[in-house]
Structure 1
């Protein structure tokens, strides 16, 4: 296998924290588990106790109000800010939210923008002329 890495070698070099949770929740929402893992890596570097300056929490960096809304919708009882640090709950809520964004926007790139910056900003940015000209370049320039 010259010039190629086997899957087992890649898993050894790049272990995936929370693999089972990410795969199970991703598949239940028809999301690519590798994409969800990439979002987790970008948002929190796989740190379940991560908190952003804006107050986003956990692996998928959910804002408290987003977590509360999705917890209510999915029947998660006893919602508190602390449960956003629980990997199982965070990934359960975060994948539901991201799957909803993908359905809503119908475009992966815009769903990713909305996940990261919020739906209001994504809609506002989508209306900019630069987005229509080159959406990939536009995404690279998002502050």
Structure 2
């Protein structure tokens, strides 16, 4: 037995189209700014930022891949490039020989610190300068409701 699709209502379709455009345009706008001003691709910036927020500026590669939304092989390739730049180092996980830990180096942290002001300014220009405090609260609540369905 085939059931009829649950089509989106007009207001849902409008919201969906706006969201898809944001999801398509925002990453390239952030990437362009970071590459132009700091010579860092957005994906690499995210990895550095995630590591910087962790105790010891280090975390398991599998956890890092999950956090940045990358496959293990894509993350491994990115971390190899970051290692070549001297921004990250990998080491064996002491509790699991198969696991690896990525650690942000002092040079990587300095790169992140140099790139962060321009990145934050761009995020403000593109997103938060267009929202009032209520909008920000609603955005946080809405994304908080959506994220669990995407991460599992």
Q: Do the two structures share a fold, i.e. TM-score over 0.5?
A: no
TM-score with structure 1 setting the length: 0.31
Q: Highest Rg: 1 or 2?
A: 2
TM-score with structure 2 setting the length: 0.30
Indicate the structure with greater helix content. 2
